[in-house]
Amino acid sequence: MGKLLKQSFWSTIIIYIGVILGFVNSIILFPKFLSTEQIGLVRQILSASIMLVPLTTFGTSAAYLKFYPKFKENNDQKNQLFTFQLMIIILSCFITCSIIFLSVDYIKLYINDNSKLLFQYFHLLYFLVVIFSLSSIFEAYLKSRYEIMLNNYVNGVSNRFLTGIFLIFFSLNIIDFNIFLNLQILIYLLGLIILIIYSQKKEKIVLVLNIRKIRKSIKKILNFCSFSFLGNFSNILVLNIDILMVTSILGLSDTGIYTTAFYIGMIIDIPRRAISQISLPFISENIQKKNFKIIEDNYREISINQMMIGILLFNLIIVNLDNIYDLMPNSEKFISGKSVVGIIALSKIIIMSFSYNSEIISLSKYYRFTVLLIMILAIFTIGLNLILIPKYGMVGAAYSSLFAVLIFNIIKFIFLKIKMDISPFNYKTLLLTIIGILIYNLTVFIPNFKNPIIDIIINSFIISIIYLCLIIKLKLSPKFNSIFYNLIKLDR
């Protein structure tokens, strides 16, 4: 577990550096130098590319993580597994991009007239889809070896740093918006190159066209890939369909406002990403060894610690939301999305509190259940968006996301309780929820100051102190208490 803790710690640090860069880009630079339509265009191209990745990877990333423990002691088998997965991605990329190319005119029929600008830059989609798809297999290659720091650096730091630099170039008229958009290809291509070089350095990659040593497992691998593909595609559809449908129904300008608000609410989810990534190989390995007690203990511990972080961040964001928008350049153009923030933030707390239930099911013998459930949920979410977005606009999209997340996680919780008799919750979950509600209601009594920066500092300090005192006193997380007392050099 030493490597797990080390990777999780440094990954969290890297992710939060990425959050700071993302905050500067999304809350300061983008609103200052780009119109809401231009922001919507950038976000939509990236979101659409991400949505297509499950089609072009065909479940290979999850399959690689699942089957790697079986082959990791044999170099030939490891190389053949990687080669086989890479071949699937190349073939899937070709088929998917060809279908999209032939369907562009048909797609245009379902896009709002306010979003037609998207098709002037549609070529970016093909490049980004291929880059993201190839990146996914190298990310899985590193994750399987408990290496996630570089993945987080590439996905959260380098791309945002370069985006910020190029945006400054745009503001200085060194480049125009057309060049800025096309430079997104260079940004993500550089990330792919870094992943390839490090993967090769970590453990030499040898491509082997003859896959006879894993031939007996190919049927199982393809079967898992098929279900994983359906599950991943439906899952990403659920998580990104709101952005696509806001663009389709309301237009790119509303997409820019919505995605800016979405980013603020999404900050809560950041710690979960590092834990989830490093947990995948941990779960896979312990399922292979049938160490279910170890999984259950970790499952519950992760839930309470993620909830602790999520509830604190939720309250900090809500109490400072007016100040955040006051600090945002051209905030009057984005203020209509403010109500979206709390809804999205609440959905992220729900995900964090249910721990890594998706990962457990997906890597177990019950993986077909997740696929079936997420496909049904995807259809439900699309229907809900079609009803709520025309009626309530961006808020309708946010509520669709919240309802989908809540229903999805409740069903998975019930399934795991019935099939494996494990639960991420205990009495501490209830206590933590009560504390969160209490802190939320206390925020109304905190005095306001005219300076938004001073207001943020004072609000955050008061809430953090009260919250930390309560969770330490009630000993909700022994591990957190241990870390806290070690930091301040006190005996418990």
User: Considering Cα of 133, then 137, then 138, then 144, what sign does the dihedral take?
Assistant: positive
Q: Yes or no: say if 315 and 18 are a contact pair by the CB < 8 Å rule.
A: no
Residue with tokens 């040898």: 206
Rounded-to-integer distance, Cα 147 and Cα 152, Å: 10
Rounded-to-integer distance, Cα 402 and Cα 423, Å: 22
Q: Length of the chain in residues, anyone?
A: 492
Rounded-to-integer distance, Cα 179 and Cα 64, Å: 36
Rounded-to-integer distance, Cα 8 and Cα 148, Å: 8
Rounded-to-integer distance, Cα 147 and Cα 198, Å: 10
462: Cα within 13 Å, side-chain hemisphere: 17
Residue 182 has a pLDDT of 93
Contacts made by residues 213-217, CB under 8 angstroms, sequence distance 24+: 213/74, 213/76, 213/77, 213/80, 214/71, 214/77, 214/80, 214/81, 214/84, 217/67, 217/70
Residue 438 has a pLDDT of 92
Structure tokens at 34: 């780009």
Q: Yes or no: say if 53 and 62 are a contact pair by the CB < 8 Å rule.
A: no
The tens-digit pLDDT sequence of the chain (492 residues) is 445 556 666 776 787 788 788 888 988 899 999 998 899 888 888 888 888 888 888 888 888 888 888 888 778 888 888 888 899 999 999 998 999 888 888 877 767 666 677 888 888 999 999 999 999 999 888 888 777 778 878 888 899 999 999 999 999 999 999 999 999 999 999 999 999 999 888 888 878 777 777 877 888 888 888 877 777 776 677 777 788 788 888 888 888 899 889 888 888 887 676 666 666 667 777 777 777 778 878 888 888 888 998 999 999 999 999 999 998 998 888 899 999 999 999 999 998 898 888 778 877 788 778 777 777 877 888 899 999 999 999 999 999 989 988 988 898 899 988 988 888 898 999 999 999 999 988 877 888 888 888 999 999 999 999 999 999 999 888 878 887 777 776 444
- The CA-atom distances, in angstroms, between 126 and each of 116, 185, 236, 251, 382 are 18, 10, 18, 22, 24
Rounded-to-integer distance, Cα 46 and Cα 50, Å: 6
Q: Yes or no: say if 265 and 343 are a contact pair by the CB < 8 Å rule.
A: yes
Residue 148 contacts by C-beta under 8 Å, 6 or more apart in sequence? Answer: 7, 11, 142, 274, 277, 278
End-to-end CA distance of the chain: 24
Q: For 269, which DSSP code? A: G
Amino acid at 317: I
Nearest-CA neighbor of 52 among 117, 129, 111, 106? 129
Residue 62 has a pLDDT of 81
Residue 491 has a pLDDT of 46
Rounded-to-integer distance, Cα 111 and Cα 81, Å: 40
**Domain containing residue 350:** 2-488
User: Considering Cα of 193, then 197, then 200, then 203, what sign does the dihedral take?
Assistant: negative
Amino acid at 370: T
Q: Count Cβ atoms below 10 Å from residue 265 Cβ, excluding itself.
A: 25
Q: Yes or no: say if 381 and 241 are a contact pair by the CB < 8 Å rule.
A: yes
Structure tokens at 293: 């007690």
Number of independent structural domains in the chain: 1
CA 429 to chain centre: 24
- The CA-atom distances, in angstroms, between 339 and each of 41, 82, 265, 282, 399 are 22, 45, 10, 38, 11
Residue 73 has a pLDDT of 79
